[in-house]
Amino acid sequence: MSEQIILNIVSLVIGIMLFFSFVVAPLTFKVLAPDNAGVYIRAIFPYYYLVNLIICSIVSGFYIYTQTFTLDFYLITSVALLFAFSLFILMPMINKFKDEKNESKFKYSHLLSVIINFFQLISLGIILI
């Protein structure tokens, strides 16, 4: 029973990630003027990271509580830690580089966020298998 709940929660996180990556972000830049799109993305993405961090941390905490230290525990904990890194370190760096008009560092740090997001999706997919 608890394993099914975990799989449903992991599926929820995957759904949130895919929705933000392939609907919210692209549509924002398509519909809004660049300045407004940037303001909106800066406002919404902290919630994206925070909500996913909380959800993954709850699952990780459940594994700790039940003393189930399987591959799934390490994957979900890694995903949670990467959400924390993205929220508290990477996203402020990305914003700083954008504000400073440092395009090379902005592109590099944004690419890093995309790679992290991809790694998280793969990790969550492995949990579902």
Task: List per-block mean pLDDT (blocks of 10 residues) for the chain, which spans 129 residues.
Answer: 92 98 95 95 96 98 96 98 98 97 97 98 97
Which pLDDT score, from 0 to 100, does residue 72 have? 97
Determine contact, residues 98/38, Cβ cutoff 8 Å: yes
Determine contact, residues 56/13, Cβ cutoff 8 Å: yes
Measured CA distances, 53 to 33, 38, 98 (Å)? 30, 23, 24
The 8-class DSSP code of residue 32 comes to: S
- How many degrees, rounded to 5, is the angle at CA 53 between CA 39 and CA 117? 70
Closest CA to 117 of 31, 28, 27, 24: 24
Measured torsion, CA atoms of residues 72, 73, 78, 81, in degrees rounded to the nearest 10: 140
| 101 backbone φψ class: left, alpha, beta (φ>0; ψ -120 to 50) | left
Cα 36 to Cα 13: distance, rounded to the nearest angstrom = 27
Return the domain boundaries, the chain: 2-128
pTM here is 0.95
Which pLDDT score, from 0 to 100, does residue 1 have? 64
Phi and psi at 68, nearest 5°, equal -110, 90
